[in-house]
Amino acid sequence: MELKIALVGCGTVGLGLLEILDQKRDFLKETYGFEARIVAISDKLKGSILVPDGIEIKRLFELFSQGGRIDQYFGKGKTWELLNPLDMIEQCAADIIAELTYTDIKTGEPATGYIKKALRSGMNVVTSNKGPAALHYHELSSLAKKNNLFFRIEGTVMSGTPVFSLCESGLAGNEIREVQGILNGTTNFILSKMELEGMEYAEALALAQKLGYAEAEPTADVEGYDAVAKIVILSNVLLGAELKPDDVKREGITALNRGMVTAAKEQGFRYKLIAQAKRSGGRVEARVSPQKLPLTDPLSGVMGAQNALTFDTDLLGKVTIQGAGAGKIETGFSILSDILAVHRGLQARG
């Protein structure tokens, strides 16, 4: 089955997705009978295009490698005005909108508006954008359900490492009582460097910035805001809560120093920035805070920029999944993963 896909936003994640679709075209067709036709792209910086017959991805990459814009796809003279994402959604007749614009964790906009427009226009939506998922999951999910559409968000937590799809399939039948994870790779990288190489916090942060793991303005990571957004998503999707980011107790890693990390190590513990959410008397309580884990905890062995999440279930006990938490191809894959899930779902409907 061929699915028509339109990209709202074409930054790192979008480019990762396009690269995968280009390189694995034959594999995806042979293995899953899946074919992708990219019918439209709108990106604030790179321009926009609408091609009902489908874009040739290689040609687009050639254009980019020459410093060109998306709207020069049909030749240099044919540049046109930026197609607003809302207009693009209206005109593209896609089966799936991949919403890949920037995250605004305060408002969820403009992404939430794009997602609503797509769902109201009869299109399935896949996204790795934490804003809409953290602030409006239940509303968007209900809207999708009402219109018999899929709204999928695998990439919002741990990039393409399976979290939501794992709960839908392999863990189905269990009740999840608690989740606990290392959901921010930047802070885990910093803490690993502080422990393993005896760096001070500032030194480890500077290294993370140099290597591209941390932003120049690192507040969202080191003060725990990024992990808060993710634990809100997990709470609302997996534990049925209705939390907002402000409901989460939050403490970052900026108050930790080398001495504390070393002292913990000597006692057989390891500091990790832990995001956790737990059912407790009919409510769900969530927090993000540095915790001293015993070395026997599966999360204590997660080093560097890796992420991991432990599900506490009623039948299987604790199940932990560990993998990449970020990256161009890894997050691009999260979108493919959701697209393949929509593909399976649509095939099932016949």
Catalytic residues: 230
What phi and psi values does residue 140 have, to the nearest 5 degrees?
A: -70, -40
Q: Judged by CB under 8 A, which of 28, 36, 39, 305 binds its own copies?
A: 28
Which residues in 301-330 contact its own copies (CB under 8 A)? 301-303, 306, 315-324, 329-330
Q: Which of 90, 51, 53, 42 is nearest to 74 (CA)?
A: 51
Task: Find the shortest distance in angstroms from Cβ 182 to its own copies.
Answer: 12
| Contacts for 256 with CB less than 8 Å, ≥ 6 apart | 191, 194, 201, 271, 290
d(CA 206, CA 202): 6
d(CA 198, CA 204): 9
d(CA 117, CA 85): 10
Q: Judged by CB under 8 A, which of 84, 107, 142, 169 binds its own copies?
A: 169
Check binding of 261 to its own copies (CB under 8 A): no
Check binding of 282 to its own copies (CB under 8 A): no
Task: Find the shortest distance in angstroms from Cβ 14 to its own copies.
Answer: 15
Check binding of 265 to its own copies (CB under 8 A): no
Task: Find the shortest distance in angstroms from Cβ 270 to its own copies.
Answer: 10
Q: Judged by CB under 8 A, which of 75, 212, 281, 350 binds its own copies?
A: 350
Q: Which is nearer to its own copies, 288 or 309 (CB)?
A: 309
Q: Judged by CB under 8 A, which of 162, 209, 250, 278 binds its own copies?
A: 162
Alpha helices in the chain (DSSP H): 12-23, 25-32, 57-65, 85-92, 111-120, 130-146, 164-168, 185-196, 201-210, 219-222, 225-238, 258-266, 328-349
Q: Which is nearer to its own copies, 119 or 176 (CB)?
A: 176
DSSP string over 136-163: HHHHHHHHHHHTT--EE-GGGSSTTS-S
Size of the site for its own copies (CB under 8 A): 51
Instruction: Tokens 């959604």: give the residue.
Output: 89
Check binding of 12 to its own copies (CB under 8 A): no
Check binding of 300 to its own copies (CB under 8 A): yes
d(CA 42, CA 90): 12
Say which DSSP state 332 is in: H
Which residues in 170-209 contact its own copies (CB under 8 A)? 170-175
| Contacts for 60 with CB less than 8 Å, ≥ 6 apart | 18, 70, 73
Task: Find the shortest distance in angstroms from Cβ 219 to its own copies.
Answer: 28
Q: Where on the chain is the footprint of its own copies (CB under 8 A)? A: 20, 24, 27-28, 32, 154, 159-163, 165-166, 168-175, 295-296, 298, 300-303, 306, 315-324, 329-330, 332-333, 336-337, 340-341, 347-350
